[in-house]
Amino acid sequence: MQLVIFLTKNSIKMIEINKVPSPCFVMEEELLRNNLSLIKSVKDRAGVNIILAFKAYAMWKSFPIIREYIPCSTASSVYEAQLAYEEMGSLAHTFTPAYTSENFPLFMRYSSHITFNSLSQFDRFYPETLKHSHKVSCGLRINPEYSTVETDLYNPATPGSRLGVSLDQLGDKLPEGLEGLHFHTLCESSSYDLEKTLEVIEQKFGHLLSQVKWFNMGGGHLMTRKDYDVEHLIGLLQSFKAKHPNLEIIMEPGSAFAWQTGVLVSTVVDIVENRGIKTAILDVSFACHMPDCLEMPYKPHIRGAYHEPVQGLPTYRMGGSSCLSGDFVGEWSFDEPLLIGDKIIFEDMIHYTIVKTTMFNGISHPAIALWNKSNQLEIYREFSYEDYKTRMS
């Protein structure tokens, strides 16, 4: 019997499962365009600049699609900045915790904006920007010491954070040459979280906002999530702009671009049982390919499975293919027992997955593909032993 999967939940499009290499990240162009349309609408209606954060999504073969809606991006490393220049076709808005004398010239080459994490970094490198061939606008990251993010791993405002300058380190006047301020304290957050954050920032840093030309609100704005209040966001941004007409407002979400745009297709290669717990061993690894599932942690949705165990139904952990003992997540229930060779399709696996994958244990990296608007599977990349070997030495 020919096996098919629905690659879009709310459409009739289907693709033969045997045409998808396993494992494989598959993004759908239609879903990506839906997100891009919403993001561009917010950008235009609110009168702000929204750019793509590569740290969440850097599938550069899809950049021609993204450039139809959003032309700029943000970078946190030299490689990301070079990718912005070469594949997005624009200079990057750059921030990294610390620049060095070796990499700063490269950052300048590929950046239009450079944000510094400390006053000492600004003092050290600002003179270099004045010598550069194109104008580089300099900013400073501030730390409001407030965040609604509950997971410390993703919270840059925890006590003692290494990220950003707190109010007690700043006076009433910013150093000459600083043209922008930047904060990033959100993570998959709502517009109401942003509203609370802006209230704190205005209380603490409001006296400095009139001294700069741009204000970067960082990432974490999950405006493409179904329950996100887009109208509230637009009103909030318009109100902030009205109070600070001197400022260009910049936002740099990452997850919002790729949110629920694709899946990770995997295959059951074995089923083991230990003391009544059944584990489906897959040809993917949580540690290597879905690290946020272990780091956050969170339990991803599996297409066709019950997200929580159902008494009386076949129930399984999902086990990764590495030898890490903790490379598993569970449990899910299914209407029928799983068999070796069955496909397991993890939902929403495009953002913060491909950018964080590793080849730990020599595990094969999933292929990367696009289900395009012509209803064809376009393989962007497949990986081989040589990819692993050349990374090791």
Three-class SS state of 76 = coil
Same domain, 54 and 153: yes
Residue 253 forms part of a structural domain: yes
Q: Which of 208, 238, 257 is the last residue of a domain?
A: 257
Contacts of 312 (CB under 8 A, 6+ apart): none
What was the pLDDT predicted at 331?
97
Three-class SS state of 347 = strand
Same domain, 245 and 375: no
Residue 91 forms part of a structural domain: yes
Q: Which of 257, 276, 291 is the last residue of a domain?
A: 257
Asked if residues 95 and 79 have their Cβ atoms less than 8 Å apart, the reply is: no
Same domain, 218 and 328: no
The reported pTM is 0.94
Alpha helices (runs of H) in 182-310, residue ranges in sequence order: 191-209, 230-243, 255-258, 286-289, 292-295
Three-class SS state of 223 = coil
Residue 5 forms part of a structural domain: no
User: In which region does residue 312 sit, left (phi positive, over 0), alpha (psi from -120 to 50) or beta (all else)?
Assistant: left
For residue 94, what is the domain's CATH number?
3.20.20.10
Taking the CB of residue 55, how many other CB atoms lie within 10 A of it? 19
What was the pLDDT predicted at 50?
98
Strands (E), 217-356: 248-251, 262-274, 277-282, 315-319, 328-333, 343-347
Asked if residues 224 and 258 have their Cβ atoms less than 8 Å apart, the reply is: no
Determine if residue 168 is labeled as part of a ligand binding site. Answer: no
Same domain, 236 and 268: no
Same domain, 221 and 318: no
256/43 Cα distance (integer angstroms)? 13
What was the pLDDT predicted at 14?
57
Same domain, 305 and 334: yes
Residue 33 forms part of a structural domain: no
Same domain, 110 and 244: yes
Instruction: Give the closest residue to 280 by CA, choosing from 324, 322, 340, 334.
Output: 340
Structure tokens at 120: 């000492």
| Residue 205 Cα distances to 133, 169, 388, angstroms | 32, 12, 48
Structure tokens at 224: 């493409």
143/164 Cα distance (integer angstroms)? 5
Instruction: Give the closest residue to 193 by CA, choosing from 163, 221, 165, 226.
Output: 221
Strands 178-182 and 214-216: parallel
Strands 315-319 and 328-333: antiparallel
Same domain, 310 and 174: no
For residue 345, what is the domain's CATH number?
2.40.37.10
If you count them, how many residues does the chain have? Answer: 393
HSE (side-chain half, CA atoms, 13 Å) at 279: 17
Residue 296 forms part of a structural domain: yes
Structure tokens at 190: 């709502």
Structure tokens at 177: 């040459």
Instruction: Give the closest residue to 350 by CA, choosing from 256, 281, 283, 285.
Output: 256
What was the pLDDT predicted at 107?
98
Residue 225 forms part of a structural domain: yes
What was the pLDDT predicted at 2?
39
Residue 150 forms part of a structural domain: yes
Same domain, 137 and 155: yes
DSSP 95: E
| Residue 386 Cα distances to 85, 284, 362, angstroms | 27, 19, 11
Q: Which domain holds residue 106?
A: 47-257
Same domain, 127 and 84: yes
Three-class SS state of 276 = coil
Q: Which of 257, 292, 310 is the last residue of a domain?
A: 257
Strands 73-75 and 92-95: parallel
What are the φ/ψ torsions at residue 246 (nearest 5 degrees)? Answer: -75, -10
| Residue 49 Cα distances to 46, 137, 216, angstroms | 9, 15, 9
Same domain, 227 and 115: yes
Q: How many domains does the chain have?
A: 2
DSSP 247: P
Same domain, 112 and 134: yes
Structure tokens at 268: 């059951």
Q: What residues in the chain have per-residue pLDDT under 50?
A: 1-4, 6, 9-12
Residue 246 forms part of a structural domain: yes
